Amino acid sequence: MPLHDRIIPYLETAELYHLARLNSQWFWVDEPLLSAFIERWRPETHTFHMPFGECSITLQDVAYQLGLPIDGEPVSGCLTEFENFMEHGRPAWVWFRELFGELPPQSKVKQMTVCYTWFHERFRVLPADASDETVRVYARAYILMLLSSQLFADKNANRVHLRWLPYLASLDDLGRYSWASAALAWLYRCLCRGTNRNVVNLAGPLQLLQSWIFWRFPTLRPSGFDRFGFPLASRWATFMPRNDGGAQRLASARLLLDRLRVHDVSYLDIDLTCIGLC
């Protein structure tokens, strides 16, 4: 969804503007490389077991890679029967109509989820003469899509869950949450699920994982990406992995990880003043 200028102030207030900027530069993930790393993930310690020891993604990585805030209140809620925990027991679809002005057609609804396509078709173009209240509605739709598709993606892949309604009800309060902590916890959870041999698809903020790999392991990063800004994940905006020979590329990635040594790890030593200026 395009980022309209009148929506930007709401994203800045929510501390999600840097993530929204990445939304227009999101890159493809190298699935064989990620699979090789996931094979080394251990749910007991929440770390990757490498030949030289253990390593993991930290809050600092999330803050630098995606530009998300670390400090703030926890993002919490109930994934099932969440409707019972809403304000004054308000039904979810009643609240949805109040926040977005209308309900999606039944063909776009499945239990407590709505198809991405409905949001894309309904809120893609902000009218030039939109009122302030209309802009707020479009801002809610953009943030809902941003959270559901980029930060907390699940295996539905094409649906938005209504569990975010309590957060969208007050746009001015979104900035008080620690989005980085929530994103890291969700990535950990998805990685733990990915270690199950019966799981064939991985969800979660995979661009965060891949950008972390490229930054921390220079021998695994693609060439020709020498310029970067903030957030750091924007460095790989034009990255396009090969889409052939998946099995062979997976075997090659496993071999590269087997050969890694401690001197192959890069430590982020970035001037915080420069990051702030960016």
Domain boundaries, the chain: 7-70+180-277, 76-176
What string of pLDDT tens digits covers the 278 residues of the chain?
788 999 999 999 999 999 998 877 677 889 999 999 999 999 999 999 999 999 999 999 999 999 999 999 999 865 555 555 555 556 788 889 999 999 999 999 988 889 999 999 999 999 999 999 999 999 999 999 999 888 898 776 688 888 888 889 889 999 999 999 999 999 999 999 988 888 777 788 999 999 999 999 999 999 999 888 899 999 998 898 888 878 899 999 999 999 999 999 987 655 444 444 34
Q: What pLDDT is recorded for position 68?
A: 95
Q: What pLDDT is recorded for position 157?
A: 67
Q: What pLDDT is recorded for position 24?
A: 72
Cα gap 253→256, rounded to integer Å: 5
Q: What pLDDT is recorded for position 28?
A: 83
Instruction: Please give the C-alpha separations between residue 114 and each of 157, 161, 210, 269, in angstroms, as whole numbers.
Output: 11, 7, 28, 42
Nearest to 66 by CA among 214, 225, 208: 208
CA–chain centroid gap for 56, Å, is 17
Write down the pTM of the prediction. 0.89
Cα gap 139→145, rounded to integer Å: 10
CA–chain centroid gap for 230, Å, is 16
Spatial neighbors of 219 by CB under 8 A, at least 6 apart, are: 256, 260, 264
* Residue in this structure with the two tokens 């109040």, named with its chain if needed: 98
Q: What pLDDT is recorded for position 97?
A: 92
Buried b (16+ CB within 10 A) or exposed e, 249-278: bbeebbeebeebeeebeeeeeeeeeeeeee
Token code pair at residue 194: 């990915």
